[in-house]
Each structure stands twice: as C-alpha cells, then as structure tokens.
Amino acid sequence: MMKFLNNKLFRYLSIFLFLNSVILPVKSSSALAAWALKKNGVLELRTKSNTNLKAYFQKANKIYGDRFWVDFPGELKSPRTIKGNGPIKEIRLGKPNNGKTRLVIEFKEKTYLKPLTWQMVGLDQNRWRIKLFSPKFSFRDIGEGVIEKRIRNIKANPNSSYMRKKVPDSLQLPDIIHNKFSVVIDPGHGGPDPGAIGIGGIRETDVVLEVAKIVKKFLSEKGVKVRLTRTNEVDLDLPPRVSFANNTDADIFVSIHANASRGKRRDINGLETFYFRGWRGRLLAKRIQKQILRVSPGSPDRGVKQGRFYVIKNTRMPAVLVEIGFLTGRLDARRLEKTTHRKRLAYAISKGILEYLSKAG
C-alpha cells in the first residue's frame, strides 16, 4: 500500500489517502459507522460503502502531542472526547467543518511512533485497518460500534449494487473525431511468462489480455485506430513492444498489468497508474486512474506515480502503465477473475483514453 510520506525532511507530516469514493451530501450523517483501537496498536474502521477517507499525521507542538486523524464525509451528530490509556492521551470525535467528521487520536509525550511506515489497508468496501504503534506496556481496547457488522461480501452477495450494476458498453463512452487517433495497447507478459499468479491460480497474462482486447473493441467502435502488441499467448520481450509502438507512430501507448504483493498478502489491494515524463503522460495517467477507481469501489487508490518501466520510458509518445488490481488481494482477485469486472475495467480505461484524446489530442 501507499506509504504515508516519502520525504523524511518534513516535520509536519500530512498525507491524503484517497480511497475510491461516492461523495455524500453535506448534510448526510457521518460515514464513520464504527471504530476500534485494539490492544495490538491497530486502528480498525467501519464506514459506509465506498467512503473517501483522508488521513493525516502531525508532530507534537506546544499545545498538542503527536496526533493522527482521519476525516470522513458526513456530519457527526454528537462531538465527544474519550479518555485514553497506555500511550493514548485521548481520542476526539468532532466536526472540523460543515459536512465532515474527524476522528483524532492524540498520543502521550515520548510515545515512539514511526509514521513513515504506516499503511492504510482497505479490507473490503466497508473496512479499513492501519497499525499505529506496538504497545510496550498493557493497553486496553478503545472503540465504538461493531467493526464486523454488515461486511459486504461481493462474492456471497450477488444482489449488491456493484454486482447488479449494468456492464457498460461503448455507446456510453464520450465521442471524439473518428479516424484521427492511433493507440497502442500493450497486454503485459504472455507465453512462458504468465506474470503475477494470484489467488486460485489466476494469471496476470490471461486477465490483461482479455481486458486489452475489450479496450480495443470499445475504442475501435469510437473511431480510434487500435493496435495490440500481442493478441495471444506469445513470448514477447520488452524492446519489441516499444519498437512496435514507435514504428506505428501512435498518439499514446497504454500498458496493462495486474499486481501481486510480496508474500501474497490478501489484505493488500489497490489500483495505480504510472507515467514516465511530461504533462501529457501525467494527464493520461490521471484520466485512466480516475475511471478505473470508479468501477472498483472499495479498492484503495494507490495513486498516479512516475515510474521508470522500460515500456513507458522508451516509447516516444505519451505512455502509461496501468495496474488494475492485486491478483493476490482478497478484494481485487475476487473481481479480476470475473469477465464482467474485466469489461468494466476495459470500459474505464477506454473512457480515460477518450477523455485524454478529446482534451490533449
């Protein structure tokens, strides 16, 4: 997952963890449904589905000790302060401004914390977890509500809004000038290189090839000339992929991949998009990232990042590499194994591409 901060020089540490959201009306009730700070130093949260969380850490000053807080959409009805124990001075729940709820954890003086290593993990559409400290002495649980209540299990609940949502088609995509643009789509890996292997043996090469073919279909129906670097399970090295794109003089290059975590941790999920250089590459990455998050509710936003992957570093046109989820993640893998979700992702990638072409093309 995304680390809280890469620059260790800042004394004031603040980070926004944007987790794919459905923004609630200003006057709606708080999206925070339950919270628990466990004796092992882990903070667990239960929220309304697909909530946007913003988390921060700030070093101690003359008034307050070290503080970690999370902001949620929707208003808290009754602000309150809860006395802490062990390393926790107190926990405050309040309303920083209209339409928001804030959960603040203030630590006692000289509590040893390592915020640069903190990671917010999305367990499913409703639950989040982050380890804040390792207690050296006894610490009693503090919390409100039931964390395990109403967990949304997508696989076991075919009637969920996510599962019932109609799979989109090209008619819903934005229109652009026909026969003006050329795009190269690169399904990662292939042949003897299956890429990541996930839960249940799901293979990256199979997932991304199907998504790429559907992207081609969507874009072609919108008048875009689309070429795939591979159309079947062949052994294709990186330089030929780049040469193919450069020789076609494409307007953009999009490489599609799926992720795997070290140790195959099932609690790690999320989507991210990489670009190498330039405002055009960044714009393309941002457009695609925004759209794939919309069709993957609850899967954490790992962000738009600069990367030095060979295929986006050496192509001459704006290029991005999209990671459409973790094949080793409990939430992502469950979705990626389904053709319906692959089609949603293909639609999202296509929409991001078309939005980019209409603006920067």
> Minimum mean pLDDT among 142-146, 166-170, 208-212, 297-301: which range?
166-170
Asked if residue 275 lies in contact with residue 282, where contact means CB atoms within 8 angstroms, the answer is: yes
Reference 50, options 107, 125, 133; nearest CA is 125
Q: Tokens standing for 270?
A: 């999320």
Biggest distance spanned by C-alpha atoms of the chain: 68
Q: What are the backbone dihedrals phi and psi of residue 186, each rounded to the nearest 5 degrees, phi first?
A: -115, 100
More confidently predicted of 148 and 335: 335
**Residue 156, pLDDT above cutoff 50:** no
Summary mean pLDDT of the chain? 86
- d(CA 275, CA 264) in angstroms, rounded, equals 25
- d(CA 211, CA 353) in angstroms, rounded, equals 14
The predicted-structure confidence for 29-47, as pLDDT tens digits, reads as follows: 889 999 999 999 999 999 9
Sheet containing 80-83: give its strands across. Answer: 54-58, 67-73, 100-107, 88-94, 80-83
Max avg pLDDT among 10-24, 138-152, 264-278: 264-278
Indicate the residue type of 285: A
- d(CA 226, CA 147) in angstroms, rounded, equals 47
Radius of gyration of the CA atoms of the chain, in A: 22
Task: Provide the percentage of residues in the chain whose pLDDT is more than 70.
Answer: 87
**Residue 340, pLDDT above cutoff 80:** yes
- d(CA 61, CA 259) in angstroms, rounded, equals 40
The predicted-structure confidence for 273-301, as pLDDT tens digits, reads as follows: 999 999 999 999 999 999 999 999 989 99
pLDDT (0 to 100) of residue 16: 39
| CA 292 centroid distance within chain | 9
Percentages helix, strand, coil for the chain (3-state, rounded to 5) are: 25, 25, 45
Sheet containing 42-47: give its strands across. Answer: 121-122, 127-131, 42-47, 32-37, 142-144
Buried b (16+ CB within 10 A) or exposed e, 210-221: bbbbbbbebbee
Average pLDDT over residues 132-144: 88
The predicted-structure confidence for 189-239, as pLDDT tens digits, reads as follows: 999 999 999 999 999 999 999 999 999 999 999 999 999 999 999 999 999
Q: How far is CA 270 from CA 123, 168, 201, 322, in A?
A: 10, 22, 19, 11
Reference 354, options 211, 230, 178; nearest CA is 178
pTM above 0.75, yes or no: no
**Residue 2, pLDDT above cutoff 60:** no
Contacts of 241 (CB under 8 A, 6+ apart): 186, 229, 255, 311
